[in-house]
């Protein structure tokens, strides 16, 4: 799906630069964690990287994932993945198909899962190569990493329903499949609403596939409510298939994890403010 990007390097006009900066600041203001994969050099391992415009984590990407034996599968790919009007920046993470389980984990600065809280998580994913290629039918997911079973897996499964985006407990238990197909070279936006319950009750996870960036939260989604995760301590890219992923966001609201590129009129207003600021600065300098 073709989309738009803003706030890319090389914009020369001060008004546009400030407008982009204000838009990005507003979009990120409600986020608890963000990973745009704005790393270099292209083709290098994601393993060990931090910074690059990311925040809300307590350490770099590190080896992780249950039974994973490959940790250098995740590379820095050139350019962001676009989805509609979703606000994007940086580069992306990409992996070829692997013949063993592969995983990298990034610990969250503030764990998720306090009883009675609701959090939202989103990421952009694009299947690549041959669908189902790789070990265990070429799965690719992002995990809610926990200290013990279960863990929530979001993405494309390695068993059960293989051709639609889904949520499940890592390993396949309690799989809940959406009606949206997994299509090679077609980008999808996956959003999960995580409603964390008290210790004696199950959490409720709702998957929205391809909601409209900048739009209202959908009224319905794919629901999984058969597990209690406890505290979520990190995000794990857990896979064996070929794919790219980008724009990992954790926030308090649906809007915070699905920000859209500002409308031209909004950018124009910010641009006008920037021009006025530049003029005032110049007058003070001259006078």
Q: Does the pLDDT value for residue 172 go beyond 60? A: yes
Contacts (Cβ under 8 Å, ≥6 apart) of 249: 31, 33, 34, 35, 120, 121, 122, 123, 256, 257
At 30, the pLDDT band (50, 70, 90 cuts) reads: confident
Task: Tell me the pLDDT tens digit for each residue of 183-201.
Answer: 999 999 999 999 999 877 9
| Beta strand ranges found along 48-196 (DSSP E) | 62-63, 75-77, 92-95, 102-112, 118-127, 140-145, 152-156, 164-169, 176-181, 188-195
pLDDT at res. 11: 36
32-261 in CATH: which number? 2.60.120.200
pLDDT of residue 28: 54
pLDDT, tens digit, for every residue of 101-160?
999 999 999 999 999 999 999 999 999 999 999 999 999 999 999 998 899 999 999 999
- Phi–psi pair at 260, nearest 5 degrees: -105, 155
Helix (H) or strand (E) holding 97: none
pLDDT tens per residue across span 7-18: 543 333 343 344
Give the pTM: 0.85
pLDDT of residue 265: 59
Task: Express as a percent the part of the chain with pLDDT over 70.
Answer: 82
- Answer whether 227's CB lies under 8 Å from 174's CB: yes
Whole-number pLDDT of residue 274? 45
Q: Pick the closest to residue 239 from 44, 91, 71 (CA basis).
A: 71
Over the stretch 227-271, which tens digit does the pLDDT of each residue have? 999 999 999 999 999 999 999 999 999 999 999 998 775 545 455
Domain ranges across the chain: 32-261
Ordered alpha helix ranges (H), the chain: 14-28, 135-138, 264-286
Q: What is the mean pLDDT of the chain?
A: 87
Q: What token pair was written down for 102?
A: 């592969």
């Amino acid at each position: 799906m073709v989309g738009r990007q803003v706030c890319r390097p090389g914009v020369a006009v001060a008004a546009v630069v400030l407008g982009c900066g204000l838009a990005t600041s507003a979009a990120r203001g409600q986020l608890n964690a963000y990973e745009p994969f704005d790393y270099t050099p292209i083709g290098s391992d994601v393993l060990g990287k931090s910074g690059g415009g990311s925040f809300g984590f307590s350490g770099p990407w590190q080896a992780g994932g249950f039974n994973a034996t490959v940790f250098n599968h995740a590379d820095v790919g050139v350019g962001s993945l676009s989805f509609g009007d979703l606000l994007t920046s940086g580069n992306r993470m990409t992996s070829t198909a692997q013949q063993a389980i592969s995983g990298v984990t990034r610990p969250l600065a503030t764990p998720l899962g306090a009883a009675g809280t609701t959090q939202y998580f989103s990421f952009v994913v694009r299947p690549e190569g041959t669908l189902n290629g790789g070990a265990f039918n070429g799965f690719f997911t992002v995990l809610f990493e926990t200290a013990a079973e279960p863990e929530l897996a979001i993405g494309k499964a390695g068993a059960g329903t293989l051709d639609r985006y889904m949520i499940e407990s890592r390993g396949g238990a309690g799989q809940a499949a959406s009606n949206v197909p997994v299509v090679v070279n077609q980008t999808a936006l996956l959003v999960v609403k995580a409603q964390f319950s008290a210790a004696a009750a199950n959490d409720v996870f709702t998957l929205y596939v391809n909601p409209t960036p900048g739009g209202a939260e959908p009224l319905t989604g794919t629901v999984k409510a058969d597990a209690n995760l406890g505290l979520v301590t990190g995000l794990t890219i857990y896979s064996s298939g070929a794919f790219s992923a980008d724009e990992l966001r954790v926030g308090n609201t649906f809007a915070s994890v699905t920000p859209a590129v500002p409308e031209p009129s909004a950018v124009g207003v910010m641009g006008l403010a920037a021009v006025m600021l530049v003029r005032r600065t110049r007058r003070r300098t001259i006078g």
